[in-house]
Amino acid sequence: MFDIDTVLKIIQHENKRFVEPIVTTISRKRTPFHVLISCLLSLRTKDQTTREASRRLFTVADNPEEMMKIPIPKLEKIIYPVGFYRTKARKINEICKILIGEYRSSVPDEIDELLKLNGVGRKTANLVVTLGYKKPGICVDTHVHRITNRWGYVKTKNPHETEFALREKLPKKYWLTINDLLVTYGQNICVPISPKCSICQVSMYCKKVGVARHR
């Protein structure tokens, strides 16, 4: 049986050496709205780029009303060079309008409601619920999907399947933290290609499923 308690405890200790994901940092100091917007910016974007773009944007606009007033061409310039910045600028503008018109400028705290917003998928919805509202949820991105399958803890084909497999298997005490832990570890040690197994402190627990080559 996979010792998830020991493995996550080790990873938590190891991650102290690394910089935490920007969305996590924002959630400690900001509102669910900031978590939502920074998460949208982070999609297909390096963390440092997201960090800088979020800082620039939140300096100019701190709530849906202020953000909606930014002309889309100016919004594009503010968030550039995040991935798909033009598309994201339009979606951010649209989401702000919906939040103002339908949710009294508040961000929904339920996954099903968040999924109604254009551009919000299960990863973003779960992050807003878990980091923004500290409510139960499991955010599964490529790192969580890859690492839990690499361990042999789950056997799934995509992040969507992984989320529901973890909902059945992962102890609830880890639901809020699993994403933070594995994103950080996946960016620094258990990387997608040629993972650093020689310095990985949980290598002995890992089945290395799908790992053809490692360092």
Q: What are the tens digits of pLDDT across the range 155-176?
A: 999 999 999 999 999 999 999 9
Distance CA 88, CA 82 (A): 9
Task: Indicate which CATH number applies to the domain containing 157.
Answer: 1.10.1670.10
The reply to whether 65 and 126 lie within a common domain is yes
Which domain-ending residue is among 133, 161, 188? Answer: 133
pTM of the model: 0.92
Is 10 in the same domain as 29? no
Domain of residue 56, residue span = 22-133
pLDDT of residue 169: 97
117 and 149 fall within a common domain:
no
Instruction: For residues 33 and 94, state if they share a domain.
Output: yes
Residue 106 placed within a domain: yes
Do 30 and 125 have their domain in common? yes
Q: What is the CA radius of gyration of the chain?
A: 18
Query: Considering its fold, how many domains does the chain have in total?
Result: 2
pLDDT in tens, 45-59: 999 999 999 999 999
Is the CB of residue 39 less than 8 Å from the CB of residue 128? yes
* Residues present in the chain in total: 215
* Closest CA relative to residue 160, chosen from 177, 178, 144: 144
